[in-house]
Amino acid sequence: MRTVHSRVPDEQRVGTRAGLAAGQCGVGQREGDHGGRGDGRGRWRRLGAKSGAALAASAVLGVGLLSGCSSSSDSGGDAKTLTVFAAASLKQSFTQLGAEYEKQHPGVKVTFSFAGSSDLVTQLNQGAPADVFASADQANMDKAVKGGRIKDQPTTFATNTLTIVTPPGNPAHIAALADLSKPGLRLVVCAPQVPCGAAAKKVTTDANVAITPVSEESSVTDVLAKVTTGQADAGLVYVTDAASAGAKVQTVNFPESAKAVNSYPIAAVADSKNSGAAKDFVALVTGPDGRKILQQNGFVLP
């Protein structure tokens, strides 16, 4: 897995195929970007075309990488990079879906930016280029619609609920949601503006469980990491993330989680330069192949 040539942080952007040839063909690059926030619109630029001499030198160094490398006007737009902004909890399933999409659509490379949905919608509404947006809740998708980046009707493709994760052996002896209020417990949750944080707030408030987290993270994967590295006694994460961690965590399910079911909507970005490919990716996610992969990763289908 590799990143496209962009200044978005490496841990957020994961390319499903090598991006070197795409970079030499002039893939968009952003100046001064730090996670896509604060620069506003208009800072994205195209890499300049190389001179004939430079291209000749490149050919000597690696003809194979540049085969088929030409401008979209020369190639008819055959060489494409599809950029998908997706909630962090979708990383495992969407990486698999990206590989499946590339298999079904030769010549298209799928690149992902995985992060908290609130961070992703902020980037979108500040002008970050993307082709598809998949959120872990409807609220952040609505923000993208309000910001004008989404104009198609979003499609709900999966749902998810919370569970408690602890280090192996459950050293803090967590057995129920109420145990998360134990004095001295190192509890980690998502920040309230993040879908998993909003769900955590709802289930604990509805159950009258007063929690005092030692940390509020910007994504569910960050919460999981705090538990798997021993920095927390317990964390509230999605069941899909707990499943992906395997033996690194112990899971404690609780019935109150049914009160906060998160729905995952997806839509093509309105100003996508690859609108056809974007809609094809949405169709894959919502179709039989996508549903199979999502279900294998623990998501509940609508």
Binding residues for molybdate: 89, 117, 220, 238
Phi, psi of 36, rounded to the nearest 5 degrees: 85, 15
Q: Within a 10 A sphere around the Cβ of 95, how many other Cβ atoms? A: 18
CA–CA dist 292, 289 (Å, integer): 5
What DSSP string runs through 33-97?
-STT-SS-SS-EEPPPPPPHHHHHHHHHHHHHHHTT---HHHHTT-SEEEEEEEEGGGHHHHHHH
Binding-site residue positions: 89, 117, 220, 238
Radius of gyration over every alpha carbon of the chain, rounded to an integer in angstroms: 21
Amino acid residing at 180: L
Give 105's Cβ-side CA count (13 Å radius).
24
- What secondary structure letter does DSSP report for 13? E
